[in-house]
Amino acid sequence: MTPAETPDHRTRSSDEARSPMTDSTNSLDQSIAQKQHTRLAALLSSQTFWVFIAVILACLYLSFATDSFATSKNLYNITRNVTFVAIIALGMTIVIISGGIDLSVGSVLCLCSMVLAVTMHAGYSIEIGIAAAIGTALVVGAFNGILIAYLGFPPFVVTLGMLSVARSLAMVASNNTVVFEFGPDHDKLLALGGGAWLFGIANPVLYMLVLAALTGFVLRWTRFGRHVFAIGGNEQAAILTGVPVRPIKVAVYMISALSAGIAGIVQTGWLGAVTTNIGAGMELQVIAAAVIGGADLAGGVGTALGALVGAALIEVIRNSLGLLGINAFWQGTFIGGAIILAVLFDRIRNIRRRD
Partner 1 sequence: MPVLELQNISKHFGAIHAVSDVSFSLEAGEVVGLMGDNGAGKSTLVKMIAGNFRPSHGSMRLDGAELVMHRPVDARRHGIEIVHQDLALCDNLTAAANVYLGRELRRGFGPFSVLDYAAMYRRAAQIFAELKSETRPRDLVKQMSGGQRQAVAIARTRLSDPKIVLMDEPTAAISVRQVAEVLNLIRRLRDHGIAVALISHRMPDVFTVADRVIVMRRGRKVADKRIADSSPEEVTGLITGAIETA
Residues that bind partner 1 (CB under 8 A): 4, 24, 27-28, 31-32, 34-36, 220-223, 226, 229-230, 232-234, 236-238, 240-243, 300-301
Does residue 151 contact residue 253 with C-beta atoms inside 8 Å? no
In SS3 terms, 247-293 reads as HHHHHHHHHHHHHHHHHHHHHHHHHCCECCCCCCCHHHHHHHHHHHC
Whichever of 214 and 273 has its CB closer to partner 1, that residue is 214
SS3 (DSSP) at 294: coil
CB of 122 to partner 1, least distance (A): 35
Query: Helix, strand, coil proportions of the chain in percent (round to 5)?
Result: 75, 0, 25
At closest approach, how far in Å is the CB of 206 from partner 1? 24
Q: How far is the CB of 220 from partner 1 (least distance, A)?
A: 8
| Residue 227 CB, nearest approach to partner 1 (Å) | 8
Smaller CB separation from partner 1, 221 or 345: 221
Residues 154, 111, 315, 303: is their CA dihedral positive or negative?
negative
Judged by CB, which is closer to partner 1: 238, or 257? 238
Residues linked to residue 201 through DSSP beta bridges, in sequence order = 198
Shortest separation between residue 8's beta carbon and partner 1, angstroms: 10
Q: Name the β-bridge partners of 198.
A: 201
**Considering the complex, what minimum distance in angstroms separates the CB of residue 337 from partner 1?**
28
Is residue 146 classed exposed, middle or buried when 0-12, 13-18 and 19+ CB atoms within 10 A define those classes?
Answer: middle
Reduce the DSSP state of residue 35 to 3 states and report it.
coil
CB-wise, 47 or 159, nearer to partner 1? Answer: 47
C-beta closer to partner 1: residue 301 or 313: 301
In the bound state with partner 1, the residue whose beta carbon lies nearer, of 11 and 331, is 11
The backbone torsions φ and ψ at residue 286, rounded to the nearest 5 degrees and listed phi first, read: -65, -45
